[in-house]
Amino acid sequence: DTGVSQNPRHKITKRGQNVTFRCDPISEHNRLYWYRQTLGQGPEFLTYFQNEAQLEKSRLLSDRFSAERPKGSFSTLEIQRTEQGDSAMYLCASSPDRERYEKLFFGSGTQLSVL
């Protein structure tokens, strides 16, 4: 396994700009998750995909956030009209979908700073 890959590692943007992050899960992992982690806190669930279908979204995911997984492989997370409160580490995770309560494999995250 090559691991979960996230790009970019760091992103600095000005308030009001749009940003897009990419996540490449472990090959053949059907489940893909996005989490957000702010300083001094644990990761918080944002959304979940089973193959290309987005099956669950957290209330944390406002209308400015959109996630896609068009071919059931990589995923993108877009934030429109960024706000300073969006500054956080965005973590992607994947799992093989062989059982319930699976352990998740995390990427190293994308650190977003909104100025």
Binding site for another protein (CB under 8 A): 3, 31, 33, 35, 40-45, 48, 50, 55-56, 89, 91, 93, 100-109, 111
CB of residue 34 to another protein, shortest distance in Å: 11
Structure tokens at 35: 């989490």
* CA gap 22, 75 in Å, rounded: 6
| Residue at 94: amino acid letter | S
Q: State which residue, 14 or 53, has the beta carbon closest to another protein.
A: 53
Q: State which residue, 68 or 97, has the beta carbon closest to another protein.
A: 97
| Rg of the chain on CA atoms, in Å | 13
CB of residue 41 to another protein, shortest distance in Å: 6
Q: State which residue, 7 or 111, has the beta carbon closest to another protein.
A: 111
| Residue at 29: amino acid letter | H
CB of residue 23 to another protein, shortest distance in Å: 13
* CA gap 71, 5 in Å, rounded: 17
Q: Are 76 and 68 in contact (CB under 8 A)?
A: yes
CB of residue 5 to another protein, shortest distance in Å: 11
